[in-house]
Amino acid sequence: MTRKPRSTTSQETTADSTNPVSMAGSADPAHQGTIPSTAIKIIPTGQRNFPGLTTEETGLLRKKQYRLRLAKAPLARTAAAYGKHITTALQATYIFAQHEAGTAACIDPHGWILTCSHCFGESEREWRENMYKWLLDYTGKSVQVECCFWDGRRDLALARVVSVETDEVDMGAFEFIPLHSSTSAGVYGRADIVCLGQPGSEDLESESPQATDYDLIEISEGRLRGLVPDADPHDNSEIGSLKHDAWTYWGHSGAPLVCGRTGKLLGLHSSWDDMTAMRHGVPLVAIRAFLGSHLPGFEAAGSDANVDIIIID
């Protein structure tokens, strides 16, 4: 879901960047400073019902799976044309399976997923009522995530994979997008970027209701256009403080903005200005501070991380 500036919507956010909200239990002091070892449930493929989904919602997930599987080969070729680093970014990009759309990025081999807070709820109450979501990767593989940390001011949410639909017992590590090494102001000035995200299925620009013809995952390119002058980069509650011009549509919220040269994460798309058509996002400096508060050891994790598996019959 891409949003306009928050001034056009109602907001009930109680969290801020100095006191982000976390789920009781997930912010246990024992988990601070290291990445917790989390057991992941394996759900065999072909199940008629998914935990937490209605029959209608399961049907929508299956339809999206089918479309993704049809499109995965040409999408993979598009990513490969940019280079291996964008192929990795594609493999680490997830889309929300529900109707409202939304996008997310895996930023750690243990299965930690980063997105915008408003993809889980416009308020703390809404987030607490919707902590579990089903996501899909570009091949159609479905994962269930639990949103453990939610920061409405930064417009960031951090979720962990808790279930995977697969027939594989040994999944290995998750593909992930590494963070760019610099948070200096210079990194935001006209850097070439690639955006990977899910456009919404409804044409909001049409006078009569109709569907768009976009693929479920679109790859676009553009440039960063700096930060909003005098804006606090940690306050993205009204509109993202990072500016960019890569093509997006509603549904792109949470889409990774990666460096076109290295594939490293520079920000997340979050919103757009309907007066200027400028796209906006959450900058890397806010992402680093948010992750540092909850997963201070995440950058030290290697690609050979072990993941505990629980098999569900």
Res. 177: pLDDT tops 50 = yes
* Residue partners of 292: CB distance under 8 A and separation at least 6: none
Per-residue pLDDT tens digits for 267-299:
999 998 988 989 999 999 999 999 999 886 765
* 84 or 170: which leads in pLDDT: 84
* Separation between Cα atoms, residue 23 and residue 127, nearest integer Å: 10
Give DSSP secondary structure letters for 109-177.
TTTEEEE-GGGT-SBHHHHHH--EEEEEETT--EEEEEEEEEETTTTEEEEEEEEEE-S-S---PPP-P
Residues 57 and 168 in one domain: yes
| For the chain, counts of helices (H) and of strands (E) | 4, 15
pLDDT given at position 187: 75
What's the CATH number where 193 sits?
Answer: 2.40.10.10
* Separation between Cα atoms, residue 225 and residue 280, nearest integer Å: 9
* Per-residue confidence band for 31, with pLDDT thresholds at 50, 70 and 90: very low
Residues 108 and 244 in one domain: no
* Separation between Cα atoms, residue 109 and residue 306, nearest integer Å: 9
Classify residue 233: in a domain, yes or no: yes
Residues 160 and 303 in one domain: yes
The b/e string for 13-29 (b: 16+ C-beta within 10 A; e otherwise) is bebebeebbbeeebeee
**Mean of pLDDT values over 141-161:** 97
Per-residue pLDDT tens digits for 108-143:
999 999 999 999 999 999 999 999 999 999 999 999
* Per-residue confidence band for 181, with pLDDT thresholds at 50, 70 and 90: confident
Provide the whole-model pTM.
Answer: 0.84
**Mean of pLDDT values over 55-68:** 94
Res. 147: pLDDT tops 50 = yes
Per-residue pLDDT tens digits for 198-224:
987 665 555 555 566 789 999 999 999
Q: Rounded to 5 degrees, what angle do the CA atoms 164, 72, 45 make?
A: 30
Residues 277 and 242 in one domain: yes
- Residue range(s) defining the domain that contains residue 247: 185-284
Residues 279 and 293 in one domain: no
* Per-residue confidence band for 245, with pLDDT thresholds at 50, 70 and 90: very high
pLDDT given at position 312: 38
Classify residue 8: in a domain, yes or no: no
pLDDT given at position 183: 62
Residues 159 and 305 in one domain: yes
* 197 or 307: which leads in pLDDT: 197
Classify residue 31: in a domain, yes or no: no
Most distant CA atoms of the chain, gap in Å: 55
- Counting the structural domains of the chain, the total is 2
Residues 160 and 63 in one domain: yes
Classify residue 103: in a domain, yes or no: yes
Residues 112 and 149 in one domain: yes
Residues 138 and 162 in one domain: yes
Length of the chain: 313
**Among 153, 79, 161, 75, which residue's Cα sits nearest to residue 114?**
161
pLDDT given at position 13: 36
Res. 301: pLDDT tops 60 = no
pLDDT given at position 190: 78
Residues 120 and 64 in one domain: yes
Residues 140 and 57 in one domain: yes
Residues 208 and 307 in one domain: no
pLDDT given at position 170: 80
